[in-house]
Amino acid sequence: MSQGPILELRGINKSFGPVQVLHDVAFSAHAGEVTALVGDNGAGKSTLVKCVGGIHQIDSGEYFFEGRKVQVHGPRDAAELGVEIVYQDLALCDNLDIVQNMFLGRERRSGLVLDEAGMEEMAAKTLEGLSVRTVKSLRQHVSSLSGGQRQTVAIAKAVLWNSKVVILDEPTAALGVAQTAQVLELVRRLADNGLAVVLISHNMNDVFAVSDRIAALYLGRMAAQIKTSEVTHSQVVELITSGRSGELGLGNGNGATS
């Protein structure tokens, strides 16, 4: 590897009661690169991301950030490290409006008072960049938004901040054609600006279009983590559906990284 990974996980295990969801998973993300995390439904992608974000406590395993071993006990810890995540279950507050949601937990103030005008302005600018055209007002409650609009708000919320790692869990699932293109472009732009970006997606075209590396999860195990340029479409699909593809993937032993 040219450069040490900014985020690195080793030997992560995670169970919910009797069900073990992640088995000894290793994962890394490098600055300036887009790492695609792929896997079948229920493979454990979202669970892995939630472990990174501190939503779930890991049962065992090591968490390295910029080479240092860290303990992440909650979302605040992750945010302090500079990890920003768009979760699959968007986690917006339905009773707040778009601006309020976008700045939640990191409100801009002047003195004690919230700087509403400033926040509204910034929110409008960010959303414009994501080509949302049908939102009537930024002061609309998010409960009244369409599926794609909600997703756009969640994405906009994550990219507002100066972070080092951005993780997007199926960000384009509900987006239209134009919006999807915008988001993919944004992903590439973030990576080019030196951030480490992790993109979860079921769409192989998108994955191949923007990613530098691909990590494939199979039934809670890391089947392979490889350079995008070194694999083909069908190899990745095979990794996703059966956990192995020729040389690559889970052998008799456990997951192998390139």
Partner 1 sequence: MTTETLPEQRASDSRAGVHLRNYFERVRGGELGALPAVFGLVVLCVIFSVLRPAFLSAINFANLFTQGAAVTVIAMGLVFVLLLGEIDLSAGFASGVCAAVLAVLLTLEGWPWYLAVLAAMLTGVLIGLALGSLVAKLGIPSFVVTLAAFLAFQGVVLLLVKNGTNISIQDGTILAIANNNVPPLLGWAGAIVGVAAYAVIQITQARRRTGRGLVADPMSVIGFRVAALAAVAGVAVYVLNLERSSNAAIVSLKGVPIVVPLIVLLLIIWTFVLRRTAYGRHIYAVGGNAEAARRAGINVDRIRISAFVICSFMASVGGIIAASRANSVDPNTGGSNVLLFAVGAAVIGGTSLFGGRGRALDAVLGGAVVAVIENGMGLMGYSAGVKFAVTGSVLLLAASVDALSRKRAATGGRR
Ligand X SMILES: Nc1ncnc2c1ncn2[C@@H]1O[C@H](COP(=O)(O)OP(=O)(O)OP(=O)(O)O)[C@@H](O)[C@H]1O
Q: Which two tokens stand for residue 62?
A: 């090591």
Sheet containing 165-169: order of strands:
83-86, 165-169, 196-200, 34-39, 213-218, 221-227, 256-257
Site for a second copy (CB under 8 A): which residue of 180, 185, 208, 254? 180
Q: Does 138 bind a second copy (CB under 8 A)?
A: no
Q: Which two tokens stand for residue 28?
A: 């890394």
Q: Does 171 bind partner 1 (CB under 8 A)?
A: no
The secondary structure of residue 70, as a DSSP letter, is -
Site for Mg ion (CB under 5 A): which residue of 46, 101, 126, 201? 46
CB atoms within 10 A of CB 75: 16
Element (H, E) at 68: strand 68-69
Stretch that binds ligand X, among 34-42, 125-133, 160-168, 228-236 (CB under 6 A): 34-42
Q: Are 112 and 119 in contact (CB under 8 A)?
A: no
Q: What whole-number distance in Å separates Cα of residue 133 and Cα of residue 127?
A: 9
**From the CB of 238, what's the least distance to Mg ion, in Å?**
20
Residues 89-108 that bind a second copy (CB under 8 A): 89
Site for a second copy (CB under 8 A): which residue of 70, 124, 138, 204? 204
Start-to-end CA distance of the chain, whole Å, equals 10
Sites of contact with ligand X (CB under 6 A): 16, 19, 21, 39, 41-47, 88, 134, 144-149, 174, 176
Sites of contact with a second copy (CB under 8 A): 16, 19, 39-43, 46-47, 88-89, 132-136, 144-149, 152, 170, 173-180, 202-204, 219, 237, 240-241
